[in-house]
Amino acid sequence: MKGLVLAGGTATRLFPLTIVTNKHLLPIYDRPMIYYPLDTLAGMGIREVMVIVGGKSVGDIVELLGDGRHFGLDLTYRYQRGALGIAHAIGLARDFIGDDAFCVVLGDNILRGDPLAPLARQFEDEQWGAGTLLYKVPDPERFGVAEFGPDGKVVGFEEKPKQPKSDLIPIGVYFLRPDAFDVIENLAPSGRGEFEITDVLNHFIPGGRLFAPVYEGHWADAGTVPSLLRSAEMAEEDDRAGRLPRPVERPRDPA
């Protein structure tokens, strides 16, 4: 399985913090935000990762992460021109992914606790078409929201609804296979002018091909100032409990 980290976007909800820098470089406790999704992928046993960059400070992200060897990863990069949505960003990785299954983690998603490696193996072994992790939130109208049928299975996702049909949302971890790229190619932009990941997930619901377990760990999206603070507090709690690994230090380049 390969990995993608999406680290583009304009992050207007974090202004003025992001007026002159990429939000994924902002600190979450004692390390840059983008370290967390890389740690999530590494914890699944994934080693080949593409980072989709865009917006401001692209060179700073590359300088910070380098080739990824100090994370135990092999990193490559691809540039996304404009904020065209999650599905569009994923589509840029088609050549990199090849014939492999892959996991996408949004660059502002902080996950702690419940390990994801068993879920990654389950997705691969059971041949699901696509997958995401569901999480209960108090403000589902900010996200794509899961709708359930009488049998308790997901029947659809609605992006940022004014009247949410549940309090379970697909968080920014997506498991996909190469046939997802054909789905993305045929998407139309939403009313927001973006290519939505929820439309990709909806494609795989018929026939029961969507993998959608509920995530039991701790999650924050760090996309607003309150959630940025909450993410830092969550990391500090893990640090005090000895659950937060030491921050990765990039080796100095030889003179």
Supply the CATH classification number for the domain 2-133+170-240. Answer: 3.90.550.10
What residues are paired with 105 via a beta bridge? 5, 173
- The share of the chain scoring above pLDDT 90, in percent, equals 77
What ranges do the domains of the chain cover?
2-133+170-240
pLDDT in tens, 119-136: 999 999 998 999 999 999
pLDDT at position 164 is 95
Q: Which of 173, 10, 5, 180 is nearest to 76 (CA)?
A: 5
pLDDT at position 37 is 97
Question: Residues 38-61, buried b or exposed e (16+ Cβ, 10 A)?
Answer: bbbbbebebbbbbbbbbbbbbeeb
Q: Give the separation between CA 96 and CA 146, rounded to whole angstroms.
A: 30
pLDDT in tens, 179-200: 999 999 999 988 888 888 989 9
3-state class (DSSP) for residue 147: strand
pLDDT at position 254 is 60
The number of CA neighbours under 13 Å toward the Cβ of 105 is 29
Instruction: For the sheet with 210-211, list strands across it.
Output: 74-79, 48-53, 2-7, 102-106, 168-176, 130-136, 210-211
pLDDT at position 253 is 64
DSSP H or E segment with residue 107: none
Using 70 as the pLDDT threshold, list the residues of the chain that sit under it.
251-255
